Amino acid sequence: MASNQCLWLALLVLGVSASGVASRTIISKVPMSVRHELWMAQFGRVYKDATEKELRFKIFKDNVEYIESVNNEGNRKYKLGINHFTDLTKEEFKATHTGFRPSKTAPKKATGVFRYENVTAVPATLDWRTKGAVTPIKDQGQCGCCWAFSAVAATEGITKISKGKLISLSEQELVDCDTEEDEGCNGGLMDDAFEFIIQNRGLTTESNYPYKAADGTCNSKKESSHVATISGYEDVPANSESSLLKAVVNQPISVAIDASGPDFQHYSSGVFTGECDTELDHGVTAIGYGKTSDGTKYWLVKNSWGTSWGENGYIRMERDVDAAEGLCGIAMQASYPTA
Ligand SMILES: *[C@@H]1O[C@H](CO)[C@@H](O)[C@H](O)[C@H]1NC(C)=O
């Protein structure tokens, strides 16, 4: 096995430098078991025993076959790809890597005011990264606290816009300390996180209260060291991509989406056009928008699944679709903190 694997590795290396078609041909001739081994090495995956490995191999194989079948159809505006999620079933994936979930009690209502309702100056494209209002891609790991990453990214954005400083803020503080409505790795809601940040009079930095990808006890000393505060939060009127646009023009916006579909798990590049539903299960951040050369409009969305997923951690999702809810429900529950 070992020497065989070296050979295949050499072929793969060769394949990378060859043309795309040649490289695909070579890779598709590599036995799936070897591809799984190479993948395990690439992503540092270790299984506890042979049974686990066999199980993971089957899932990996099914996923790779699915990815290749979708890509070979060649009629979609996006490509799927092998990433660090390729050995997870979609059920496992959803259970461990999303985490948007309505709170136990009725969600606290935002003010009802939408301060951007009369915005008319809307540039054709916008990317908050180029304005320095977006921190590097983070990775929630196997903890369903997307809601914390989404709320933090929106808070980082408004802090940069209002105070002129981009500061990476602590998701772990929300996971550990914001436990009245939200449930750490078991899920939460961005509006509840904003509510907590207001009550707590701010959030501390990522470096002061680093991310652990697990629930923990609130460190009240760190919790009380604030570097960024917000004064309130507002909801974008639901089911209106034009309202969402007015908001995104002004700051990065927390949005909830349905990210449970297999194409979302395996998304690699291009403008994602579905399949997805509108059962909101994931919190992300809309940080811009644009239009491709073929005229497809998209939202530029920051995810929290590391940089191996999607376009270096980002996804472009089709914008201005027929459904009022937006693609994957992106216009259903958008909200933002105010300075
Ligand atoms: C938008 O314009 C209308 C009409 O002038 C005004 O009544 C409303 O208060 C404005 N909304 C905001 C948020 O400024």
Domain ranges of the chain: 3-75, 97-338
Work out the angle at residue 228's Cα, subtended by the Cα atoms of residues 226 and 232, and round it to the nearest 5 degrees. 115
| Residues with active-site annotation | 146, 282, 303
Work out the angle at residue 20's Cα, subtended by the Cα atoms of residues 15 and 25, and round it to the nearest 5 degrees. 60
Closest atom, ligand 1, to C-alpha of 114: 13
Atom 13 (ligand 1) nearest CA? 115
What topology does CATH give the domain 97-338?
Cathepsin B; Chain A (3.90.70)
Atom 3 (ligand 1) nearest CA? 118
Q: Is the C-beta atom of 117 inside 6 A of ligand 1?
A: yes
Instruction: Give the pLDDT of residue 7.
Output: 42
Q: Are strands 267-272 and 314-318 parallel, antiparallel or unpaired?
A: parallel
CB 318 within 8 A of CB 297: yes
CB 97 within 8 A of CB 142: yes
Return the structure tokens found at 188: 């939460």
Q: How far apart are the CA of 133 and the centre of ligand 1, in A?
A: 27
Q: What are 111-114's contacts with CB under 8 Å, separation 24+?
A: 111/232, 111/234, 112/235, 113/234, 114/234, 114/235, 114/236, 114/237, 114/243, 114/247
Q: Is the C-beta atom of 115 inside 6 A of ligand 1?
A: yes
Instruction: Give the pLDDT of residue 106.
Output: 54
Instruction: Give the pLDDT of residue 109.
Output: 63
Return d(Cα 112, Cα 131) in angstroms, integer: 29
Residue 305: strand pairing partners:
139
Return the structure tokens found at 247: 């908001």
Instruction: Give the pLDDT of residue 28.
Output: 65
Instruction: Give the pLDDT of residue 8.
Output: 39
Instruction: Give the pLDDT of residue 219.
Output: 97
Return d(Cα 292, Cα 255) in angstroms, integer: 22
Instruction: Give the pLDDT of residue 296.
Output: 97
Return d(Cα 39, Cα 87) in angstroms, integer: 9
Return d(Cα 187, Cα 193) in angstroms, integer: 11
Residue 14: Cβ within 10 Å count: 12
Instruction: Give the pLDDT of residue 11.
Output: 39
Q: How far apart are the CA of 241 and the centre of ligand 1, in A?
A: 19
Instruction: Give the pLDDT of residue 104.
Output: 54
Return d(Cα 70, Cα 83) in angstroms, integer: 15
Instruction: Give the pLDDT of residue 22.
Output: 44
Return d(Cα 104, Cα 96) in angstroms, integer: 20
DSSP state of 180: S
Q: How far apart are the CA of 110 and the centre of ligand 1, in A?
A: 18
Instruction: Give the pLDDT of residue 266.
Output: 97
Atom 5 (ligand 1) nearest CA? 118
Residue 79: strand pairing partners:
269
Return d(Cα 336, Cα 110) in angstroms, integer: 10
Report the largest interatomic distance among the alpha carbons of the chain, rounded to a whole angstrom. Answer: 66
Return d(Cα 286, Cα 203) in angstroms, integer: 21
Length of the chain: 339
CB 189 within 8 A of CB 147: yes
pLDDT in tens, the chain (339 residues): 333 333 434 334 433 433 444 445 556 679 999 999 999 999 999 999 999 999 999 999 999 999 999 999 988 999 999 999 999 999 998 888 888 886 555 555 667 899 999 999 999 999 999 999 999 999 999 999 999 999 999 999 999 999 999 999 999 999 999 999 899 999 999 999 999 999 999 999 999 999 999 999 999 999 999 999 999 999 999 999 999 999 999 999 999 999 988 999 999 999 999 989 999 999 999 999 999 999 999 999 999 999 999 999 999 999 999 999 999 999 999 999 999
Instruction: Give the pLDDT of residue 96.
Output: 82
The residue to mutate among 113, 118, 120, 235, having the most atoms of ligand 1 within 8 angstroms of its beta carbon, is 118
